[in-house]
Amino acid sequence: DKTTPEVEVDIDELLDMDDDAQRRNHLQGVLCDAKKSPHDVKKFVDDLLERTKTL
């Protein structure tokens, strides 16, 4: 079975972190086994961090 496991990102946990560097580190750790290219993962992380600023 070649299904990709889903990764759950806890937005509240991200928002409780002190800064974007800490959030980025956490997300990269959670997504380290992602099947996407590093470029796609970086874009996802960048987009998600940008969206957290509007919450």
- Angle of the 38-52 helix axis to the 20-30 helix axis, nearest 10: 140
Residues 33, 3, 39, 13, Cα dihedral to 10°: -60
User: What is the C-alpha to C-alpha distance for residues 31 and 10, in angstroms, rounded to an integer?
Assistant: 13
**Residue 5 within any structural domain of the chain:** no
pLDDT in tens, 27-47: 999 999 888 999 999 999 999
Question: Tell me, what's the pLDDT at 2?
Answer: 63
Max Cα-Cα span within the chain: 39
Question: Tell me, what's the pLDDT at 5?
Answer: 77
**Residue 2 within any structural domain of the chain:** no
Using the 8-state DSSP alphabet, how is residue 3 labeled? P
**Residue 4 within any structural domain of the chain:** no
Count of domains forming the chain: 1
Q: Residue 29: which domain range?
A: 11-52
- Which amino acid is located at 25 in the chain? N
Question: Tell me, what's the pLDDT at 43?
Answer: 98
Question: Tell me, what's the pLDDT at 46?
Answer: 98
Model-level pTM? 0.84
pLDDT in tens, 15-31: 999 999 999 999 999 99
**Residue 30 within any structural domain of the chain:** yes
Say whether pLDDT at 1 is over 60: no
